[in-house]
């Protein structure tokens, strides 16, 4: 390996740190908002799902709730 007098270990470490800082900043700017939105959408979906399940259980009083769960399980197959 040939020696490069202009490039030192400290310089390379600083360069690496700067690149990592930029990468993390990009993650914060781009990925976090998307993750937050997906989290909110999922919470809304869960709430909606619970409302539907509750309404189904009320409208089908003869049906045991375990039957509804078995239908949900069979739907996912």
Is pTM beyond 0.75? Reply is no
Q: Where are the domains of the chain?
A: 13-58
Stretch 2-11: mean pLDDT: 77
pLDDT digits (tens, 9 = 90+) for 25-39: 999 999 999 999 999
**C-alpha to C-alpha distance for 16 and 26, rounded to whole angstroms:** 15
pLDDT(77) > 80: no
Report pLDDT for 60. 84
Helix (H) or strand (E) holding 53: helix 32-59
Burial degree of 68 (CB within 10 A; 0-12, 13-18, 19+): middle
Q: In whole angstroms, how far apart are CA 55 and each of 10, 47, 68, 77?
A: 65, 12, 12, 23
């Amino acid at each position: 390996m040939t020696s490069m007098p202009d490039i030192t270990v400290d310089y390379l470490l600083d360069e690496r740190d700067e690149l990592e800082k930029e990468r993390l900043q990009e993650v914060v700017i781009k990925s976090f908002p998307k993750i937050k939105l997906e989290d909110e959408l999922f919470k809304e979906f869960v709430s909606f799902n619970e409302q539907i399940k509750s309404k189904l259980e009320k409208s089908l009083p003869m049906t045991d709730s375990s039957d509804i769960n078995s239908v949900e399980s069979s739907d996912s197959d």
